[in-house]
Amino acid sequence: MKIAIVCYPTFGGSGVVATELGTELARRGHEIHFITYKQPVRLELLANHIHFHEVHVPEYPLFKYQPYELALSSKLVDVVKLHKIEVLHVHYAIPHAYAGYMAKKMLEEEGFTLPMVTTLHGTDITLVGNHPFYKPAVTFSINKSDVVTSVSQSLKEDTLRLFDIRTPIEVVPNFINLEKHLQSEYSECQREIMADEDEFIVTHVSNFRKVKRIDDVVKVFYEIQKKLPAKLIMVGEGPEKEVAEDTCHELGIEEKVIFLGNSDEVYKILCFTDLFLLPSEKESFGLAALEAMACGVPVISTNTGGLPEVNQQGVSGYLSKVGDVDDMTQNALKILSDKTTLENFKKQARKTASQFDIHKIVPVYEKLYIQSINNL
Ligand code: GMT
């Protein structure tokens, strides 16, 4: 099939999922066209069947807001016609499903049909899309999609609760390429750069937004390091990063916390990590937790949103109520204090992650693409 993928190209989970999906589809012989304003961070362009089309938004001083949706829908029309695209897959309802629908309508005028698959990722529903300013447009775009998927059962339920949705929603969980994680474990794992031999390595990866509760990451680590020798590796950039750096100074643990910024070498960091912290306020899925588990890292998370569908209580890690720093600390110590327990959790984390193997999930999308074509 010839498939166009629209996504956010940044470090966010939705962009990562879209990129990994496109890459795997290309590997399976499909022709994939990424359409977005920048090359997606994890996209390797030098691969067979992968194309990238950049959306340019000309700056015009008269406009306070430059019209990205307009530029995107026009680009979609051009790419679809030129490359005979058969299916459009948009990741994130805002504004991609909206722009996708406009493109579809423009193409219809010229005799082209373009089925649109929309994948909901979470923030487009629970944080931004639900805002009254956006809600009518988001509801409309979802209802006008030919196939709608959500990355967890929890997100599906949130969508049905918050919006008036008439299109059926298929749950297609996020996935992981286990081979990639295994490779990094054995060939590029350089633990000694980050910590002493007797120190545990605790890691957090996110975009450091308020929803990630970075303060709880620091608080839990502060308690852990009182009992065990440990280092905290903070990967990512975002508005809460500076606050967290200040807190580490105030608590006197700045020597034990390493802020790495954004990294496209997350697997190399995870391969020597002993424990992953994800104390989010909301999380439709928690791809970061799944990536950690795939590298054999147990996860201490909250039990919000889709996290219980990923992290299994007492198996791949533990889940606590949002904000329950004490419980998260106790659980972290339970795992780290005993060598055999830690080893068991590591094995179980990887085994749990294998349920989300890319080879099981990508064929589900392929079937949905065919269904979207047949539905028209
Ligand atoms: O929250 C993020 O890290 C970014 C965000 C996004 O919009 O890309 O992630 C959302 O989509 C990911 C991929 O499906 C999910 O794993 C994240 O749980 C979800 N974030 C939230 O729901 C807050």
SS3 letters across the chain: CEEEEECCCCCCHHHHHHHHHHHHHHHCCCEEEEEECCCCCCCCCCCCCEEEEECCCCCCCCCCCCCHHHHHHHHHHHHHHHHCCCEEEEECHHHHHHHHHHHHHHHHHCCCCCCEEEEECCHHHHHCCCCCCCHHHHHHHHHCCCEEEECCHHHHHHHHHHCCCCCCEEECCCCECHHHHHHHHHHCCCHHHCCCCCCEEEEEECCCCHHHCHHHHHHHHHHHHHHCCEEEEEECCCCCHHHHHHHHHHHCCHHHEEEEECCCCHHHHHCCCCEEEECCCCCCCCHHHHHHHHCCCCEEEECCCCHHHHCCECCCEEEECCCCHHHHHHHHHHHHCCHHHHHHHHHHHHHHHHHHEHHHHHHHHHHHHHHHHHHC
List pLDDT tens digits, range 312-361: 999 999 999 999 999 999 999 999 999 999 999 999 999 999 999 999 99
Are 146 and 259 part of one and the same domain?
Answer: no
Atom of ligand 1 at shortest range from CA of 290:
16
Are 66 and 191 part of one and the same domain?
Answer: no
Q: What is the pLDDT of residue 186?
A: 58
- Phi and psi at residue 46, in whole multiples of 5°? -85, 65
Average pLDDT score over residue span 245-251: 97
Q: What is the pLDDT of residue 276?
A: 98
Are 160 and 183 part of one and the same domain?
Answer: no
Find all residues with CB under 8 Å of 59, minimum gap 6, and list them.
66
Distance CA 76, CA 259 (A): 39
> From the CA of 14, how far away is ligand 1's center (Å)?
6
Distance CA 219, CA 206 (A): 16
**pLDDT > 80? residue 11:** no
Kindly report the protein residue whose alpha carbon is nearest to atom 20 of ligand 1: 283
Are 315 and 199 part of one and the same domain?
Answer: yes
Average pLDDT score over residue span 206-231: 97
Atom of ligand 1 at shortest range from CA of 209:
1
Residue 329 Cβ < 6 Å to ligand 1: no
Average pLDDT score over residue span 218-235: 98
Q: What is the pLDDT confidence band of residue 43, given thresholds at 50, 70 and 90? A: confident
Are 29 and 47 part of one and the same domain?
Answer: yes
Are 327 and 184 part of one and the same domain?
Answer: yes
Residue 16 Cβ < 6 Å to ligand 1: no
Q: What is the pLDDT of residue 258?
A: 96
Distance CA 92, CA 129 (A): 10
Are 214 and 289 part of one and the same domain?
Answer: yes
Q: What is the pLDDT of residue 46?
A: 73
Alpha-carbon distances of 225 from 212, 220, 332, rounded to whole Å? 21, 9, 11
- Phi and psi at residue 314, in whole multiples of 5°? 75, 0
Residue 152 Cβ < 6 Å to ligand 1: no
**pLDDT > 70? residue 275:** yes
Q: Residue 231's Cα: distance from chain center in Å? A: 25
Are 276 and 300 part of one and the same domain?
Answer: yes
> From the CA of 207, how far away is ligand 1's center (Å)?
10
Are 260 and 135 part of one and the same domain?
Answer: no
Are 122 and 243 part of one and the same domain?
Answer: no
List pLDDT tens digits, range 46-103: 788 999 999 999 888 888 888 999 999 999 999 999 999 999 999 998 899 999 999 9
Q: Which residues of 282-302 are buried (b: 16+ CB within 10 A; e: fewer)?
A: bbbbbbbbbbbbbbbbbbbbb
Closest CA to 364 of 201, 175, 197: 175
List pLDDT tens digits, range 95-154: 999 999 999 999 999 999 999 999 999 887 877 777 888 899 999 999 999 999 999 999
> From the CA of 165, how far away is ligand 1's center (Å)?
21
Are 277 and 309 part of one and the same domain?
Answer: yes
Average pLDDT score over residue span 159-184: 89
Residue 121 Cβ < 6 Å to ligand 1: yes
Q: What is the pLDDT of residue 187?
A: 63
Tell me the CATH number at 9: 3.40.50.2000
Name residue 207's amino acid: N
Q: Report how many domains make up the chain.
A: 2
Distance CA 268, CA 358 (A): 20
Q: What is the pLDDT confidence band of residue 184, given thresholds at 50, 70 and 90? A: low
Are 191 and 147 part of one and the same domain?
Answer: no
Domain that holds residue 234: 178-356
